[in-house]
């Protein structure tokens, strides 16, 4: 019995040792880089426990404005204090004097932290470059002052630039077998998403200090600076944004209480986005908690009377409008319009005063002649499909700069397209008509250029770290037909009449420092807050009228009919742009 028991215990011991050896092999030889269902990198985790580090730059590429100024980051002087200082005799009083705080406050800041402490970058500690130089002249091990990269506050053009996430699963799905360091950021929206492959970091820039199990120095008290060896990375994405105009647009959107909506400003000559503002703002702590993560300027919206520009273009080409009069005392269904009784108007006056009856009737006539007409002219004016730059980029055939951009549309079904009542509603920008604000801005630019239809650019080039160009994005024509120069000239006149006519809907802009041409719009959304229906309020135009340089759209979404207008916003933007130009 004794021998049998010994054999059993020996067998159990051998099995246990086998399991232990197998487990050790799994940990140290087989799954060292991808342990468990969570894909834990054991080598990195082990190294992390033996060092204290502070990341100076995460290594991801950056976004610049059109003049080369940083958009996605700012570098700020900071003071970095390593925990081992508490175990050494260091001249804290000299450091405190250099940065202008008390010695006790400085020592309290370090406390019993087991991680490097950062002072500066944010209130209440704001360091200057002179203070940074004073600290570094002291040459105290574990006390380092340098510039560190931060996300700027406020971050302008947040939705256009987009969001990132340190989601290992997304990285794995997107880049298959390629390996990345733990914590690598991946773009999930905006330009961060479309240019992600170029922006991915080659590694972090960091300060590293090695410690033993009790936090003491392992290789002496020197702090090492570590950065990727590749001199070409990280890259810079040079956007078309003008920081001056972007700052103006952000401030004015907030001043005028835009809670949902925004602004698009295009350079008419280049068709570049100079400014793009979307509200609600991004909540960076919880970006998907509300609509702040969406760029409203790239999403389908109900345009209302802005769409009458399309009907006008088609009617000018196909209709006999000279000498014709329209009954603008009635609604589109023929009943008396007690709220907007404009009497009898000709075509030009109908456009200036935005008469629904005129454009509903014209849309029905166009539909009767050819059900495809409204869609045809919406496409000619860039309102359907997408307008963002797309084309070949290295191995990608259909690279899109604006990956989150919706397609515009006029009808959802063939049945709606052939129904005269639906055509009438579509003619005034209601029913199933949906457009993006960026496409409306592009429509104004197309008209101002005399029918020249181009793609909208948000980025002009990708540059290596040393400033040399990796890739460029040349201007490109937008596919599909366009309006003739003669039709564009007639539309220019109509859009100017909106401002100059004594009862035009754009009278607000008569006395601005730059002459404006444009079209207003108020769309019923079918959504109610209490008993009040909510509306989308627009003004889209270009300026100066005689020598067009800017196309501008301001839109306030989901507001009551008696509040939330955008005329003052549009007006203040034009004035602000004029002031910025004078400073050049």
Strands of the sheet with 74-81, listed across from one edge: 117-120, 74-81, 143-150
Question: In angstroms, how far apart are the furthest CA atoms of the chain?
Answer: 120
Cβ neighbours for 538, distance < 8 A, ≥ 6 positions apart: 303, 304, 305, 306, 440, 519, 520, 521, 522, 523, 553, 554, 555, 566
Strands 396-400, 325-327: pairing kind: unpaired
What's the residue count for the chain? 584
Tokens of 402: 């604006």
**Cβ-count burial of 75 within 10 angstroms (0-12 exposed, 13-18 middle, 19+ buried)?**
middle
Distance in angstroms (rounded) separating the CA atoms of residues 222 and 563: 63
Tokens 């959802």 belong to residue? 412
DSSP letters spanning 133-165: HHHHHT--TTEEEEEEEE--SS-TTHHHH--EE
> For residue 514, which of 577, 433, 430, 458 has the smallest C-alpha distance?
577
Output DSSP code: residue 30: I
Q: What is residue 293's three-state secondary structure?
A: helix
- Helix ranges (H only) for 216-267 are 243-255
With beta carbons less than 8 A apart as the criterion, state whether 314 and 367 touch.
Answer: no
- Containing 557, the helix (H) or strand (E) segment is strand 550-560
Which residues pair with residue 21 across a beta bridge?
Answer: none
- Containing 313, the helix (H) or strand (E) segment is helix 308-318
Distance of CA 513 to the CA centre of its chain: 30
Dihedral sign, Cα of residue 17, residue 20, residue 26, residue 28? negative
Of 189, 194, 305, 520, which one is the catalytic site residue?
A: 305
DSSP letters spanning 46-83: HHHHTEEEEEEE----EEE-TTS-BSS-EEEEEEEE-G
Question: Using only C-alpha atoms, what is the Rg of the chain?
Answer: 31
Which residues pair with residue 540 across a beta bridge?
Answer: 519, 553
Q: Is 413 marked active-site? A: no
Cβ neighbours for 154, distance < 8 A, ≥ 6 positions apart: 250
> For residue 482, which of 530, 457, 449 has the smallest C-alpha distance?
449
Q: What is residue 500's three-state secondary structure?
A: helix
Catalytic site residues?
Answer: 305
């Amino acid at each position: 019995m004794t021998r049998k028991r010994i054999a059993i215990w020996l067998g159990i011991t051998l099995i246990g040792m086998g399991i232990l050896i197998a487990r050790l092999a799994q940990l140290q030889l087989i799954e060292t880089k991808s342990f468990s269902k969570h894909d834990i990198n054991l080598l990195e985790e082990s190294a992390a426990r033996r060092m204290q580090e502070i990341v100076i730059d995460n290594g991801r590429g950056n976004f610049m404005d059109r003049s080369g100024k940083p958009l996605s980051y700012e570098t700020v002087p900071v003071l970095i204090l390593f925990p081992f200082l508490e175990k050494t005799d260091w001249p804290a009083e000299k450091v405190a004097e250099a940065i202008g705080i008390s010695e006790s406050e400085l020592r309290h800041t370090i406390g019993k932290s087991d991680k490097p402490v950062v002072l500066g970058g944010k209130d209440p500690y704001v360091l200057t470059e002179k203070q940074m130089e004073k600290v570094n002249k002291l040459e105290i091990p574990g006390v380092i002052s340098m510039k560190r990269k931060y996300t700027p506050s406020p971050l302008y053009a947040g939705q256009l630039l987009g969001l990132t996430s340190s989601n290992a699963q997304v990285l794995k799905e997107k880049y298959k077998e390629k390996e990345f360091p733990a914590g690598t950021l991946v773009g999930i929206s905006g330009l961060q998403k479309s240019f992600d492959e170029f922006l991915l970091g080659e590694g972090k820039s960091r300060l590293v200090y090695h410690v033993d199990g009790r936090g003491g120095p392992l290789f002496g008290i020197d702090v090492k600076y570590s950065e990727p060896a590749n001199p070409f990375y990280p890259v810079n994405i040079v956007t078309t944004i003008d920081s001056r105009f972007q700052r103006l647009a952000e401030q004015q959107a907030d001043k005028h209480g835009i809670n949902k909506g925004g602004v698009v400003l295009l350079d008419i000559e280049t068709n570049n986005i100079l400014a793009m503002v979307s509200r609600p703002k991004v909540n960076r702590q919880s970006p998907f908690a509300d609509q702040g993560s969406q760029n409203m300027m790239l999403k389908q919206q109900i345009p209302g009377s802005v769409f009458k520009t399309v009907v006008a273009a088609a009617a000018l080409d196909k209709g006999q409008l000279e000498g014709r009069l329209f009954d603008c005392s009635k609604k589109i269904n023929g009943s008396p319009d007690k709220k907007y009784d404009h009497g009898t108007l000709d075509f030009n006056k109908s456009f200036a005063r935005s008469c629904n009856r005129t454009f509903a009737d014209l849309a029905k006539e166009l539909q009767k002649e050819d059900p495809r007409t409204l869609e045809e002219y919406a496409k000619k004016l860039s309102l359907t499909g997408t307008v963002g730059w797309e084309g070949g980029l290295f191995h990608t055939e259909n690279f899109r700069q604006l990956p989150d951009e919706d397609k515009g549309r006029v009808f959802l079904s063939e049945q709606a397209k052939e129904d005269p009542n639906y055509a009438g509603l579509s003619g005034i920008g209601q029913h199933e008509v949906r457009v993006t604000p960026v496409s409306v801005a592009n429509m104004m630019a197309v008209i101002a250029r005399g029918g020249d239809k181009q793609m909208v650019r948000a980025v002009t080039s990708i540059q290596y770290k040393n400033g040399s160009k990796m890739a460029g994005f040349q201007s490109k024509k937008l596919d599909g037909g366009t309006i003739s120069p003669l039709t564009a000239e007639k539309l220019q006149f109509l859009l100017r009449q909106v401002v100059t006519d004594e009862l035009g809907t754009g009278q607000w802009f008569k006395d601005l420092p730059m002459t404006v041409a444009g079209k207003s719009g108020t769309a019923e959304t079918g959504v109610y807050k209490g008993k009040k229906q909510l509306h989308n309020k627009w003004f889209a135009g270009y300026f100066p009228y005689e020598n067009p340089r800017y196309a501008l759209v301001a839109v306030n979404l989901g507001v009551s009919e008696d509040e939330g207008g955008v005329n003052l916003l549009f007006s203040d933007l034009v004035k602000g742009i004029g002031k910025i130009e004078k400073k050049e």
